[in-house]
Amino acid sequence: MNIDDEKILFLEPVFKQKIWGGNRINSLFNYNIDINNIGECWGISAHSEGDCIIKNEPFKNMPLSVLWDKRRDLFGNYNSPVFPLLIKFIDANEDLSIQVHPDDIYALSYKNGELGKTECWLVLDCDEDASIVIGHNAIDRDEFKKMVTQDNWSGLIREVPIKKGDFFQINPGCLHAIKKGTLLIETQQSSDLTFRLYDYGRLENGKPRQLHIKECMDCISIPFEPFKNNILYYKTAFGYKIHYIDCKYYSFYEYGISNSAKINMPGSFNCVSVLSGEGRIDDISIKKGDHFILTGLYRKFNLSGSLRLAVSNPN
């Protein structure tokens, strides 16, 4: 087998219908799939709830989780029993539930083998008056419980306006909700644990969706402390690079390609989603909507074309 054949893994996305989903993922990224109300596109995932299939040889039709188990050398021998990241597009045509995610310790005790859920958001597009919920106004646990019991959501939640290009880190314990009119890309730990505190009384299949009041109370951080971003912007020979975050679980970047240039990406491996444009990575064509992994064998290459790339690697 030629080592060049193992340098890049193109993935077939997994699409998730959601009660709050829309149609922008399908139309903007040219997926042409016959599914309505797409809330999420899992572009890079080896999670059991959405295990992406590899599209290209020599691993064509193999689930990413299987390759992770069989060929850890392709991922820089990264030390994790499961593929550590999950990269997704999210289209909120309606408000998502107000929710909290657990950390690793709570997640493991709640569901064996599940990771906690640290995540970050980059807003790709949003309505002019869009906002998100991030954090709460309770000063202590008693006040938080009182506001929840009294359905005082307007007093409890901390809602902030957003615009295209905004970035948010959502750590475990942070009360949050993506709201109507928002399209974003999310990098997160490979976890599907979400605890709903409030869901506006919505019905799904004629029944209210499950809430997780106890779990939210167990996991919530009180008082809320806003995350302080340290976003770094670099003008480069190929265009620009934005370094959004390094945290315990991942690093997240944006690359803007307008000139042909040699690139040297760090990390054991890199997860890449093409946000716009088209171009080439060496002799391989890439375009808007593509999701692929640059294996540990492929850190230095030439990028050309007009491209906007979201890049994540595990820490």
291 in a labelled binding site: no
- What is the C-alpha to C-alpha distance for residues 95 and 131, in angstroms, rounded to an integer? 10
Which amino acid is present at 312? S
Phi, psi angle pair for 31, to nearest 5°? -80, -30
Catalytic residues, by residue number, are: 196
C-alpha pair distances (Å), 242 with each of 183, 237, 248: 19, 14, 19
Strand 203-204, strand 207-208: pairing: antiparallel
212 in a labelled binding site: no
Closest CA to 29 of 258, 278, 259: 278
- The number of beta carbons lying within 10 Å of the beta carbon of residue 123 is 19
57 in a labelled binding site: no
Which amino acid is present at 53? I
* Cβ neighbours of residue 72 closer than 8 Å, sequence gap 6 or more: 78
Annotated binding site for Zn(2+): 101, 119, 176
Annotated binding site: 101, 119, 176
